[in-house]
Amino acid sequence: MPAADAIIEALTRNQLITLTRGDFFGAAETNNGGDARNLPLYRPITLGTTERVCSTISPNGAGNKLGVYKFLRFELATNRNLAVNVQGRRARRTRADADPDVFVYRAGSILAFGDATGLADSALLNSAAPGTYLIEVYEYSNVDTSAGARGETCIDVTLSAN
One domain, residues 17 and 52: no
128 contacts 80 by C-beta, under 8 angstroms: yes
Walk along the chain (162 residues) and give the pLDDT tens digit of each residue.
567 778 878 888 888 776 677 778 888 888 888 888 889 999 999 999 999 999 988 766 666 778 899 999 999 999 999 999 999 998 877 678 999 999 999 999 999 999 999 999 999 999 999 999 999 999 999 988 787 888 889 999 999 998
What is the average pLDDT score of the chain?
A: 89
Do 45 and 15 belong to one domain? no
Task: Indicate which CATH number applies to the domain containing 96.
Answer: 2.60.120.380
Q: How far is CA 124 from CA 50, 145, 156, in A?
A: 16, 27, 16
- Domain count of the fold of the chain: 2
CA distances, 89 to each of 83, 96, 115, 147, 151 (Å): 20, 10, 16, 17, 13
pLDDT value at residue 43: 95
- Shared domain check, 155 and 79: yes
The reported pLDDT for the residue numbered 132 is 97
SS (H, E, C) the chain: CHHHHHHHHHHHHHCCCCCCCCCCCCCCCCCCCCCHHHCCCEEECCCCEEEEEEECCCCCCCCCCECCEEEEEEEECCCEEEEEEEECCCCCCCCCCCCEEEEEEECCEEEEEECCCCCEEEEEEEEECCEEEEEEEEEHHHHCHHHCCCCCEEEEEEEEEC
Same domain flag for 27 and 46: no
Three-state DSSP string of 64-101? CCECCEEEEEEEECCCEEEEEEEECCCCCCCCCCCCEE
User: So what's the pLDDT on residue 60?
Assistant: 66
Look up the domain containing 89 and give its range.
Answer: 36-161
65 and 141 belong to one structural domain = yes
Which of 50, 44, 49, 80 has the alpha carbon at shortest distance from 161? 80
Q: What is the reported pLDDT for 146? A: 80
What pTM does this model have? 0.86
